[in-house]
Amino acid sequence: MSKRHLFDSPDGLVNKALRGIIRYNPSLSLDEANRVVFDSDYDRSKVVLISGGGSGHEPGWSGYVGHNMLAAAVQGDIFASPSTKQILAGVDAVPSDKGTILVITNYTGDCLHFGLANEKANAKGHRCRTIICGDDVSVGRKGSLVGRRGLAGQIGVLKVMGGAAGAGASLDEVYDLGVAFSQQIVSIAATLDHCHVPGRAEHATLKEDEVELGTGPHNEPGYKKLSPAPAPQDLIKQILTHCLDENDPERGYVKFAPGDESMLLVSNFGGMSHLEMGALVDELLEQLEHDWRIDPARVCAGFLETSLNAPAFSVSVINVTAAARACSYSADQIKAFFDARTNTYWESVAGAQSKRRARRDQLVRAPPPPEHKTVDPAHDLQADPELLEAMLRTACDDLVAAEPDLTRWDTVMGDGDCGETLKTGATALLAALDAGLAKSSSVVSVLLELEDIVESKMGGTLGGILGIFFVSLRAAVEKAGGGGDGPVALWGKALGTALENLRRYTPAKVGDRTVMDTLMPFAEAMGASAGFDGAVDAAVKGAEATKTMTPRLGRATYVGGGGGGDNKELPPDPGAWGAMVVIAGLHKAFIAGRK
């Protein structure tokens, strides 16, 4: 796979792409600060659909904004979920009198951020619900707590839900249809090689004679490598067997009875030629009819959900009849919803534009800066300003220095965004320190700044986890700030409270190979009065232990083999290691400041 790109750096690339994408349709607007593309002509008297996720999957999701589909889409960085703040901006941009449904794919970062946004939107008065779509059969029923991850089957869900919403269906009707339809999809992907992310030095590749089955759209390794590469007919036979073999206890997710109507979606990951895609669809249809007695009522092929420039594809088969049995609509009605025409970028012809709107009118002006949050001195925690600054700077500098390793390790297990996400947060905090953040001696002010940095600049799974963590930690410190507890006891209680709140949103625990393998031992040691020294030792041991753990949560779950049972050593979990680097940096400066 070529590493050459027209734009060699990811800096500013997502915003620039969004500014270009909206130009084909004058009804689209862009809230550039929050990366929200929305339809200015949407009908607020109808149910509103909003989706989003990491960039690099175009036309997902900004390319699906338009009549009879999405009212708004929220874009994160490349392969990283958008932040909760961005998603809330999307909900606010297209308020609905009938209600809003957030439709996302099953990735931990998306689930965390969209889930939090759903709660906050309802608290603000919106009627908001969330549907999580998981259709990948390469993720078996055993050995994973996260369930099936989302592939391009979600586009079919958006299409039928959009058609129903456009026809005036109620919130319950659209929601029930989306749930029923999403549960009747089986998908799997096959990769000839991985994609290359602009600006990244690390790049996973496949050998010339390998094909990977069960890959994800973020460069996650598949669960099986086929070598030598099978003939196209044999590969497609394996793909359909994984999707349709109802006797497979691991992957028989959907049953197809004789006479059931179905749909076929074939997504080009970005690097397949149109010539080969046509041949692929033909072979799929031949084998579906000959081997499985399935003749899809609808076939949709092309760029549905891409992975930058990856020479890869996914196949989705949907049982429409079974979906109809689980909702209030017939199979014919569901097909009609799927057929509803849209004016989205995806369905337009080469982005052609019949009329124009001034470019500046399509770009939403940046909102005014948020009001400065005041800190109640009675609930604050004071620290020596020089020591506070030294500790924060050391932790940030060490985290920036660790970014190449974190990125390399995350590339082995997934999409490689962990290091960049943490570096973004560290760089933003350093800028705040340059502006005098620590001079007030206020620990709560620092935590408020961290909340804002995480919420506005750090997407992805780690951003979601840290966002919840810092909000809870700040609230716990404010509650205890005026008390008489010593610093170790105070931080022990506050960390324990923050982690308890975090468990409401993630089942991760020690041993699952996540950031919690560092945070939980650290918090427990502080709470047990082991002191700062002992807590840091616990954090280091927790991060080191991830090298031999079998992943149970996150994208690393999808890697076939590694860790655990055969004592094979993997790279450390990058999130756990990054948290350890921060804790160790704080401790290093603390010790130096006491001398």
Average pLDDT over residues 425-452: 94
State the DSSP string of 14-66.
Answer: HHHHHHHHGGG-TTEEEETTTTEEEETT--TTS-EEEEEEEESSTTTTGGGBS
What are the structural domain ranges in the chain?
14-133, 152-351, 385-593
pLDDT band at 407 (very low <50, low <70, confident <90, very high): confident
H/E stretch holding 6 reads none
> Does 184 have pLDDT greater than 60?
yes
pLDDT band at 487 (very low <50, low <70, confident <90, very high): confident
Rounded Cα distance between 419 and 403, Å, is: 5
Chain segment 31-63, per-residue pLDDT in tens: 999 999 999 999 999 999 999 999 999 999 999
Q: Which overall architecture, per CATH, does domain 385-593 show? A: Alpha Horseshoe (1.25)
CATH class of the domain at 152-351? alpha beta
3-state secondary structure (DSSP) of residue 213: strand
Rounded Cα distance between 553 and 548, Å, is: 15
Domain 14-133 homologous superfamily, CATH? Dihydroxyacetone kinase; domain 1 (3.40.50.10440)
Q: What is the pLDDT of residue 259?
A: 94
Pairing type for strands 128-133 and 36-39 reads: unpaired
Q: Which residues belong to the active site?
A: 218
Chain segment 382-391, per-residue pLDDT in tens: 999 999 999 9
> Does 144 have pLDDT greater than 70?
no
Task: Count the Cβ atoms, other than its own, within 10 Å of residue 534.
Answer: 15
Annotated binding site for substrate: 54-57, 110
> Does 470 have pLDDT greater than 70?
yes
Average pLDDT over residues 456-479: 86
Rounded Cα distance between 81 and 226, Å, is: 31
What is each CA distance from 474 to 94, 505, 565, in whole angstroms? 31, 18, 39
Buried b / exposed e over 149-184, threshold 16 CB at 10 Å, is bbbbbbbbbbbbbbbbbbeebebebbbbbbbbbbbb
Average pLDDT over residues 501-512: 85
Q: What is the pLDDT of residue 355?
A: 66
H/E stretch holding 68 reads none
Rounded Cα distance between 423 and 397, Å, is: 9
Q: Is 453 exposed, middle or buried (0-12, 13-18, 19+ CB in 10 A)?
A: buried
Chain segment 444-458, per-residue pLDDT in tens: 999 999 998 988 888
> Does 466 have pLDDT greater than 80?
yes
- Given the structure tokens 């869900």, which residue do they identify? 157
> Does 561 have pLDDT greater than 50?
no
